A and B are shown apart, each in its own frame.
Chain A
Amino acid sequence: MVKKDLSITFLGVKFPNPFCLSSSPVGNDYDMCKKAYDVGWGGIVFKTIGPKSYVINEVSPRFDKLDKEAEPFVGFKNMEQIAEHSLEENLADLARLKKEYPDKVLIASIMGNDDETWEDLARKVTEAGADMIEMNLSCPQMTSHAMGSDVGSNPELCKKYCQAVKRGSKLPMMAKMTPNITDMVEVAKACLEGGADGIAAINTIKSICNIDLDKKIGMPIVNGKSSISGYSGKAVKPVALRFIQQMRTGIPGVEISGIGGCETWEDAAEFILVGAKTIQVTTGIMQYGYRIVEDMCNGLMHYMEEQHVDHLEDLVGLANKNIIPAEELDRDYIVYPEIDKEKCVGCGRCYISCYDGAHQAMEWDEETRRPTCNHDKCVGCLLCGHVCPVGAIDKGEIVFKKTAKPGRKIKDIRL
């Protein structure tokens, strides 16, 4: 049985493992959080606590999901805002959780609507016993434009509110970013200038998941209408990784809590490799329950063992240097597909995709029902390998282009 130390220190706080609930419906009260801790989550970002004056009134229904073929929940759309319990109830839950789980990490997510409320909430959650604060600058479905992602896309406002939070609390604090913006680095920098100690990214992406074709209404339908709201789940992972990478290169050494479509230990490892120290999860839990943390932890331990790593910290950001601007990539060679005729079942999917989506290089023998690649036409895009249902097409022969710099050697190419 594999046993590895998954603990990691993020913003000066030691997490027993990097897996946290994100601020969302999955961490809505004491009972839910207790169960999550018991199942093995290392930290919890309690559902965002807002100012007393802001009354939450949610719609019903409030979710939608994107499917692809037989796969449900490729992406998930959510219209919930912030915690609907009273401020007093939330603070009492925080205090009780911290008392009962002193070794787990408890993070209070807060959202004010002006300097005073930000500062006041920061003070209150600190008094309640939170280990850390997350500023929710990013919820895309708030019913107030003075809150959520409208704030998070305005660097000056972000900086101002970070300063307010820092006046209210000395706890380590991270600012949670909205991806509904072109350059996250600018906002993240403003937050750090305002006193944030780290960054959480990403919140959900503004979306319309599906349209009801008969009724001509977006989903979910709320009395004949719908709204744009936040999209999450596996489909957003690539967007999250991209923003984290950009912050890691734009703001050297920045500490990040990664969020966005983490479902498996492999997803988690990817977040860590692009520089996240902790990983927050919601959609995976909404679909499958808190129990998914078991395989995340165990799978990550096995990965650490394979990588001969004893401290999770040693994996953080290892991929950052290997993601470079497109203009700096090696454009001197082509790698041709290699077809394993033993594995090939003769479906012809590579032929179709190559013809219709690439360079008509895959040729089809109608007699034997097997493909062959014509190197005169092949550009080495390897679309064929991506569509093959049996994994029979892999990277094969490497050839330098005529335009390649002279004297290059194939053995130096890392595929």
Chain B
Amino acid sequence: MSKSYLEEYEAGYTPKLVMEEASRCLLCHDAPCSKACPAGTDPAKFIRSVRFRNFKGAAETVRINNVLGAICARVCPTERYCQQGCSRSGIDKPIDIGRIQRYITDFEDACKMKILEVKKPNGKRVAVVGSGPAGLATAGLLAQDGYKVEVYEKEAKAGGYLRYGIPEYRLPSAVVDREVKRIKDLGVEFKLGEKVEDLAKLQEEYDAVVVAVGHGAGKVLPIFAGKRFVKTAVNFLKDAKRKKGNLKLPDNVLVIGGGDVAMDTVTTLKLLGVKQVTDVVYETFEEFKASKKELQGAQEQGVSIIDGYVPVSLKGKTVKFEHRFIKNELKVKADLIILAVGQYTEAGLLGLDVNKAQEVEGVSGNLFVAGDIAKGEKTVVYAVRSAKETAYAVKKYLGGK
């Protein structure tokens, strides 16, 4: 596990170790891993390529199936998807698919492979709003098919939550840079620092518009509204990433929430030197939402995690919690409180009826959505899946093949 915020917490495989791990793979005939990947990355095929020492072929499989292959390799909660059905679990433990994928995409970078190709321009222009995983993937897919794609991003750099959310130790900015560059190399143009406010205008200007704004805003529970010492996890993680971990933090921080964002928050706090990090979680461990790997990472850093409690009131800087199932109260006083209790989208600001926008196809006319605001889970791998569906819908709408 990592020792510092800026250092990737898991070492990559060496050539020998990746062979060992690939050799553990049973090379299933009917591989559950490939069926379970929402993005269709086809791990069974790329692991087999590694087993037969065809690393470049493996890289082709990853990249062609998953335009954000190097990112998914690092951040995907594989235990919930590809690794869940891994046949090897019947013997000991599943294949570490993410780490094999990471080796492959690192290899791809080391060999300077350029796998994705662009078809002849078809003269059609598509605007993508938002450059998070769904926006990047949609842009990359459409660009390969010859569309002229322009991505609007309100921040100064592309990447959305990948850039400003997922901590450096889990997803180094350099990796995001490389993946964004791959998309750029396909001819995608990024309009950075440009906040879209008038969707209708874009719809007139372009043949199609894809709204891929994520759930970028953190929720605030009513009892904490307006308090100076309360922050959302989204804002905290963004600050940490922007300032490369150079934050002034008190010695005693309370985090509320138990998803992957909460685990990222508590682990980041510890890595940035906060002595006491207490995480109070609504779910009990039985129902825990965060991936085991993230939970384990937080525990290894020495975070105090308390499960099954709901915050009921705030007095000064002391939060009172009640247990959901047993009669018990818990009071925690902290100098900083960070809320990781869910996220929502500000797409409403665009005049988009978010609730109606869930369907990928034709929200209205040439307007499409992808990623968090479309149907489906809110993970990077789902964003890639959603991007594939949206790109397909856009192509169909524009009469492409």
List residues of chain A with CB under 8 Å of any chain B CB. 1-2, 70-71, 263-266, 288-289, 291-292, 294-296, 298-299, 302, 389-391
CB-contact partner of A390 in B14, B54, B60, B117, under 8 A? B14
Q: Does B203 contact A (CB under 8 A)?
A: no
Docked complex Cα distance between A292 and B48 (Å)? 9
Docked complex Cα distance between A264 and B29 (Å)? 19
Q: Which of B14, B48, B56, B117 has the most CB of A within 10 A?
A: B56
Docked complex Cα distance between A391 and B56 (Å)? 21
Contact A263 B15 (CB under 8 A): no
Known: A1-B117, A291-B48. A299 touches B15 (CB 8 A): no
Known: A264-B52, A291-B48, A299-B52. A390 touches B16 (CB 8 A): yes
Q: Does B396 contact A (CB under 8 A)?
A: no
Docked complex Cα distance between A299 and B57 (Å)? 6
Interface residue ranges of B1-59 to A (CB < 8 Å): 14-16, 23, 27, 29, 48-49, 52-54, 56-57
Residues of A within 8 A of B16 (CB): 389-391
Docked complex Cα distance between A368 and B60 (Å)? 43
Docked complex Cα distance between A391 and B52 (Å)? 20
Contact B56 A299 (CB under 8 A): yes
Q: List 10 A-B contacts (CB under 8 A).
A: A2-B57, A2-B60, A264-B52, A265-B53, A292-B52, A298-B60, A299-B56, A299-B57, A390-B14, A391-B16
Shortest distance from the beta carbon of B101 to any chain A beta carbon, whole Å: 17
Docked complex Cα distance between A263 and B29 (Å)? 18
Given contacts A2-B57, A71-B23, 4 further A-B contacts (CB under 8 A): A265-B54, A298-B60, A299-B49, A299-B53
Shortest distance from the beta carbon of A389 to any chain B beta carbon, whole Å: 7
Docked complex Cα distance between A294 and B49 (Å)? 9
Residues of B within 8 A of A298 (CB): 49, 54, 56-57, 60
A-contact bits for B261-274, CB 8 A (1 contact / 0 none): 00000000000000
Shortest distance from the beta carbon of B50 to any chain A beta carbon, whole Å: 9
Docked complex Cα distance between A390 and B19 (Å)? 12
Q: Does B306 contact A (CB under 8 A)?
A: no
Contact A295 B60 (CB under 8 A): no
Contact A299 B115 (CB under 8 A): no
CB-contact partner of A295 in B14, B29, B49, under 8 A? B49
Count how many chain B residues have C-beta atoms less than 8 Å from C-beta atoms of the other chain.
17
Docked complex Cα distance between A263 and B48 (Å)? 12
Q: Does B64 contact A (CB under 8 A)?
A: yes
Interface residue ranges of B42-100 to A (CB < 8 Å): 48-49, 52-54, 56-57, 60, 64
Docked complex Cα distance between A264 and B53 (Å)? 7
Residues of A within 8 A of B29 (CB): 289
CB-contact partner of A1 in B15, B49, B64, under 8 A? B64
Contact B52 A295 (CB under 8 A): yes
Docked complex Cα distance between A289 and B14 (Å)? 28
Contact B54 A70 (CB under 8 A): no
Residues of A within 8 A of B49 (CB): 295, 298-299
Q: Which of B29, B52, B117 has the most CB of A within 10 A?
A: B52
Residues of A within 8 A of B23 (CB): 70-71
Contact B52 A1 (CB under 8 A): no
Docked complex Cα distance between A2 and B16 (Å)? 25
Residues of B within 8 A of A296 (CB): 52, 54
Docked complex Cα distance between A325 and B49 (Å)? 36
Docked complex Cα distance between A291 and B57 (Å)? 14
Docked complex Cα distance between A263 and B27 (Å)? 15
Known: A1-B60, A1-B117, A298-B57. A265 touches B14 (CB 8 A): no
Contact A299 B14 (CB under 8 A): no
Shortest distance from the beta carbon of B34 to any chain A beta carbon, whole Å: 13
Interface residue ranges of B170-227 to A (CB < 8 Å): none
Contact A302 B115 (CB under 8 A): no
Shortest distance from the beta carbon of B348 to any chain A beta carbon, whole Å: 41
CB-contact partner of B14 in A70, A71, A266, A391, under 8 A? A391
A-contact bits for B108-150, CB 8 A (1 contact / 0 none): 0000000101000000000000000000000000000000000
Docked complex Cα distance between A264 and B27 (Å)? 15
7 cross-chain pairs, A with B, having the tightest CB-CB distances, nearest first = A299-B54, A298-B57, A295-B54, A302-B56, A295-B52, A264-B52, A264-B53
Shortest distance from the beta carbon of A403 to any chain B beta carbon, whole Å: 37
Q: Which residue of B lies closest to A263 (CB)?
A: B52
Interface residue ranges of B259-297 to A (CB < 8 Å): none
Q: Which of B14, B29, B57, B117 has the most CB of A within 10 A?
A: B57
Docked complex Cα distance between A291 and B23 (Å)? 17
Residues of A within 8 A of B60 (CB): 1-2, 298
Contact B48 A264 (CB under 8 A): no
Docked complex Cα distance between A36 and B75 (Å)? 38
Docked complex Cα distance between A198 and B388 (Å)? 51
Residues of A within 8 A of B48 (CB): 291, 295
CB-contact partner of B54 in A264, A288, A389, under 8 A? A264
Q: Which residue of B lies closest to A305 (CB)?
A: B56
Residues of B within 8 A of A71 (CB): 23
Docked complex Cα distance between A264 and B16 (Å)? 16
Shortest distance from the beta carbon of A61 to any chain B beta carbon, whole Å: 22
Contact A302 B117 (CB under 8 A): no
Contact A302 B14 (CB under 8 A): no
Contact B64 A302 (CB under 8 A): no
Q: Which residue of B lies closest to A284 (CB)?
A: B52
Contact A288 B53 (CB under 8 A): no
Contact A302 B54 (CB under 8 A): yes
Docked complex Cα distance between A389 and B15 (Å)? 11
Shortest distance from the beta carbon of B21 to any chain A beta carbon, whole Å: 12
Docked complex Cα distance between A289 and B44 (Å)? 14
A-contact bits for B346-357, CB 8 A (1 contact / 0 none): 000000000000
Q: Which residue of B lies closest to A72 (CB)?
A: B23
Residues of B within 8 A of A265 (CB): 52-54
Shortest distance from the beta carbon of A280 to any chain B beta carbon, whole Å: 17
Docked complex Cα distance between A296 and B49 (Å)? 9
Contact A2 B14 (CB under 8 A): no
Docked complex Cα distance between A295 and B58 (Å)? 9
Residues of B within 8 A of A289 (CB): 29
Shortest distance from the beta carbon of A2 to any chain B beta carbon, whole Å: 7
Contact B57 A295 (CB under 8 A): yes
Shortest distance from the beta carbon of A343 to any chain B beta carbon, whole Å: 8
